[in-house]
Structure 1
Amino acid sequence: MSSDSDVSPQPQPSGQPPQQVDTTMPLVVYGLYIAGFFTGGVTTIVGVIIAYVYQGKGPAWLDEHYRYQVRTFWIGFLYSVIALILIFVLIGFPLVVLLAVWIIVRCVIGFKALQEKTAPRNPGSWLW
């Protein structure tokens, strides 16, 4: 008879043993992006720096989160510049609200995918 302590972990399909992946840093980055609404965007800069630093240092699905976060920052930056320019013709105000919704939705999608330990569905997307 074998006890539970004698059971070794089953190898993953790639032939590598399963490993615990620390998802703390991507969670922190998503949190910093959300906190950017209250800090004037300062924490989003910290978040993108963290994403750049940790990119390429984990499994592929986790690297896709960092890619998703970097793209969220740069696309959000582009959208915010466009919205701020358009504020002068009053179209920018609703665009700023849509930008906030866009950032929140992307962060929620990222949080959910991290909980499932999978990559975001479409990390190369300009929308969701």
Structure 2
Amino acid sequence: MTEPTTTDTNREVGPSGGFDFNQPSIISLCYLASFVTGISGLVGIVLAHVWAGDNQAEWAKSHFSYLIRTFWIGLVVSVVLTITVIGMILLPLPAIWVGVRSVLSLIKAQKQEPMPDPKTLLF
């Protein structure tokens, strides 16, 4: 039987290199699950704000910044588009943007790599 390994943040990772439920990954999964549930994005943003204050590894800090900005910018753009009639046609665009950014963060979090530029509006 192979023993679990310990990473730089003292979390155990399975010997098979399976899915790592680190905090940024959990937040990304909440954002992605909100496309089905509609409410889990709110859970994700609360967790992001709470966990961002904890002592984290440098790679995780960039994810919190990236994910917090993703939520708030996506929400503001969606509200503005909802207010305008022509914006209703473009409403899927912020959802796609949030989905892509969440997947990118999830992939990087699994490798425990920082987000290259957490302040960017692009991907």
Provide the TM-score with structure 1 as the length reference. 0.75
1:124 equivalent to 2:119? Answer: yes
Paired AA for residue 69 in structure 1: L
SS in 1 for 2:122: coil
Query: What percent of counterpart residues are identical?
Result: 34
Which 4+ stretches in 1 moved above 4 angstroms?
A: 20-23
Q: How many residues align?
A: 107
What are the superposed Cα offsets for residues 10-36 of structure 1, whole Å, 9 maximum, x if unpaired? xxxxxxxx7245452211110110111
In structure 2, the gaps of 5 or more residues are: 1-6, 12-20
**Structure 2 CA distance for partners of 1:117 and 1:36, relative to 1, 3 Å:** same
> Does structure 1 retain, via aligned residues, the 8 Å contact 2:9–2:57?
no
Deviation at 1:93, TM superposition (A): 3.0
**1:1-128 maps to which residues of 2 (within 5 A)?**
19-20=8-9, 22=11, 24-40=22-38, 42-56=39-53, 57-86=55-84, 89=85, 91-128=86-123
> Bigger radius of gyration, 1 or 2?
1
Q: More helix per residue: 1 or 2?
A: 1
Q: Superposition RMSD on alpha carbons, in Å?
A: 1.7
In structure 1, the gaps of 5 or more residues are: 1-17
Deviation at 1:106, TM superposition (A): 0.1
What are the superposed Cα offsets for residues 14-66 of structure 1, whole Å, 9 maximum, x if unpaired? xxxx72454522111101101111222x2111101111111142111111111
